[in-house]
Structure 1
Amino acid sequence: MTIPTEPIGSIPRPPELLAAMQSGDATALAAAQEAAVRDTITRMEQAGSPVVTDGEQAKPSFLTYPVADLPNLAPGGVVIPFADGHTRQLPTLTAGPFRYGAHAEQYLRAAQKHASAPVKQAVIAPSALSLLYPAGGIDGYSRESFLDDLVNEAEADIRRCLDAGAHVVQLDFTEGRLSLKLDPSGGVLDDFVALNNRVLERFSDDERARIGVHTCPGADQDSTHSLDVDYAGLLPKLLRMKAGNFYLQLASEPDPDRVLAVVADHLPPAARVFVGVIDPIDPAVETAEQVRDRVLAAAGYLPVDRLGTCDDCGFSPFADDTSTSRDTAFAKIRARVEGTALAAAQLGL
């Protein structure tokens, strides 16, 4: 037995890809995306990663890939404020029915062409996309009808990736902690968890063993949107989601021991918890020894046979985020892999 380790998702895009995204040349963009995916997977495998991703090189963002360029969307949706003052804004739905314009399977299949290692695929949680529905409603298209359509689309997004051979499908749920900032009563979080479970309940136990949920307080342009929200308000509800794996930001947490104690108290039967041992916002590259010590600390709270490691968040969840270099991201990935191996050896695995 060893301790599994996985990336979360995004890697900073190379300059050639960023330039192609601005060029308006579809042929040049497709070529730059394929080159970036190939390079990302090659470098991830060279860093020793036993599981790889495409680094989300072809996605406009981790959040908006299913709805980019849909005709029934308009600007002016929910605003996500970050601690440094910058914001991201979602579009808003103008008419039904709601359908995905792109599915994550296409990114998975493109990555598998270049990978020797198993490929993990990130998808956006339906709870995040539920924010597209306007507060004032849509004539002739109720919120209930929208949610029914959303659940069907989210299930299809996950299922297509599982059927295509994804090692695991990870639901990105960064809005979970943010919801407690927007609604400290926890009502919005309850709604988010219930909606995500409507999707997850459609899968078998074996399928859910290949499905995970990732949460973090955001990591965009070296800033977060909800690190000041107490993790203890999120984790007991998050861990009720019907997934086989949970990927938890922890390296950047000010009191990781307190968080680990909460996780231990609410650990679902048979679930595996991947603890974050790399802070993508910190420009300093962690040493393998620092990672080892973080893993050993987690092993003091969680059963080793249900422990894994990951990065806290993606390194560049929005395509235009260049706050971290590609070289730094891959150096941090290597430190995670090597540090996790050191911890496993010290634990006698």
Structure 2
Amino acid sequence: MAIPTEPIGSIPRPVSLLHAIAGFQTGQISEAALQGAYAEALRDTIELFEQSGSPVISDGEQTKPSFATYPLAGLDNLAPDGLTIPFADGHVRQLPRLTAAPFRYGVHAASYLQAARAYTKSAMKQAVISASAMSLLYPADGIPGYPREAFLTDLIQEAVADIRGALDAGAVCVQIDFTEARLSLKLDPSGNLLRSFIALNNRVLENFSSEERSRIGVHVCPGGDHDSTHSADVDYAELLPDLFQMNVGRFYLQMASERDRKRVLSAVSRVIGSNHLVFIGVIDPIQQEIETPAQVRDRVLEAASFIPIAQLGTTDDCGFAPFSDDISTARDIAFSKIQARVQGTAWAARDLGV
């Protein structure tokens, strides 16, 4: 396929896995039975990805508690009362709060990729959480004996290890999930918070070669959880000039759900660099209606009128179930949408003669 296409990451967990998780939490099933359910969900997800024709697949984040909190598994220096993130429909997600030094990842993303490799030889990507998101765990009033800069030094070391581990484990590309980018402009319209996030992420990225950074990308969206968003009202035009200062080779941009895509695509055309590959969202995971390949094709052709074809790719706006308890989208709908993305992108490539 001349126009690359990739998923963002998460796929709704099968009902059998959700029942197993609930059963384990209530003591009705064993740890071994839970791990068996995880393994079966992973196997089935990979099989369905391959059936969709997707040239690059992921593990669907089947065994992650969420796209954001996977590094925190097993840590005992956290409290539950961290930053809250309100969504438009009224529900809230809350991050934990770091209570003591040192900050270390309990789990690195490479472990998910290595587990998935038991079921496939397909090209696989790996999503990782941004250092800027993890920086939100540090409390505003500080931690005695552990100044913020010491925390950031530890955080950068862990974030570098997370990305490098995924690359070394064979990921064709690594996607940094930076959903707090757009949210930061809601919290701080001056843009200072956003710029501080980008500076922190660039401190991570400076540890990689230019060739490695060409395989590292950043994903932004207005959030997508239980069919709601946290920052869709923030104008993309306020985000893009700073976002494209991220020292990565790939940008994964939510676009299908934008009200005025042409305006945003025009803004992208003004900030894209010659070394950038931009994956435009052509699938809206929040909407239950399944896009047709023809709709996808038309969205790709629209994007191609603003972005050089050699620098254009397609993706989904965001993951379909970034938190393990999100059942707002059915699993079969998610894969039908993915299949439409793959087919519609191929149709657009044919029409563009590439």
- Aligning the two structures, in what range does the TM-score lie when normalised by the shorter sequence? over 0.9
- Aligned residue for 1:286? 291
Q: 1:123-272 counterparts in 2 under 5 A? A: 123-272=128-277
* Deviation digits for residues 254-293 of structure 1 (CA, Å, limit 9, x no counterpart): 1111111111100023110000000000000000000000
Distance 2:119 2:173 in 1: 17
- The offset of 1:142, in angstroms, is 0.4
Distance 2:221 2:117 in 1: 27
Q: TM-score, normalised by structure 2?
A: 0.98
| Unaligned ranges ≥5, structure 1 | none
| Unaligned ranges ≥5, structure 2 | 25-29
- Aligned residue for 2:61? 56
Secondary structure at the residue paired with 1:155?
A: helix
Q: 2:322 is matched by which residue type in structure 1?
A: P
Pairing 1:108–2:84 present: no
- Aligned residue for 1:122? 127
Distance 1:60 1:26 in 2: 16
* Deviation digits for residues 293-347 of structure 1 (CA, Å, limit 9, x no counterpart): 0000000000000000000000000000000000000000000000000000000
Larger mean Cα displacement after TM superposition, 272-281 or 115-124 = 115-124
Q: Quick one: which of 78, 82, 85 aligns to 1:73?
A: 78
Q: 1:329 is matched by which residue type in structure 2?
A: A
Q: 2:92 is matched by which residue type in structure 1?
A: T
Distance 1:293 1:54 in 2: 28
Secondary structure at the residue paired with 1:234?
A: helix
- Aligned residue for 1:15? 15
Distance 1:27 1:154 in 2: 30
Secondary structure at the residue paired with 2:282?
A: strand
Question: What count of residue pairs does the alignment treat as equivalent?
Answer: 349
Q: 1:151 is matched by which residue type in structure 2?
A: I
Distance 1:99 1:252 in 2: 36
- Is the contact between residue 73 and residue 93 of structure 1 (CA under 8 Å) also seen in structure 2? yes
Secondary structure at the residue paired with 2:199?
A: helix
Distance 1:68 1:183 in 2: 30
Q: 2:171 is matched by which residue type in structure 1?
A: A
Q: Quick one: which of 32, 35, 42 aligns to 1:30?
A: 35
CA RMSD in angstroms comes to 0.8
* Deviation digits for residues 159-198 of structure 1 (CA, Å, limit 9, x no counterpart): 0110111011100000000000011111110110000000
Pairing 1:301–2:306 present: yes
- Aligned residue for 2:27? none
Secondary structure at the residue paired with 1:158?
A: helix
Larger mean Cα displacement after TM superposition, 64-73 or 300-309 = 64-73
Distance 1:16 1:348 in 2: 44
Pairing 1:96–2:101 present: yes
- The offset of 1:69, in angstroms, is 3.1
* Deviation digits for residues 2-60 of structure 1 (CA, Å, limit 9, x no counterpart): 00000000000011111221223321121111111110010011011000000000000
- Aligned residue for 1:332? 337
Larger mean Cα displacement after TM superposition, 126-135 or 23-32 = 23-32
- Is the contact between residue 240 and residue 268 of structure 1 (CA under 8 Å) also seen in structure 2? no
Pairing 1:321–2:326 present: yes
Distance 1:182 1:152 in 2: 27
Distance 2:150 2:134 in 1: 14
- The offset of 1:68, in angstroms, is 2.3
Q: Quick one: which of 38, 47, 53 aligns to 1:42?
A: 47
- The offset of 1:116, in angstroms, is 3.1
- Is the contact between residue 292 and residue 343 of structure 1 (CA under 8 Å) also seen in structure 2? yes
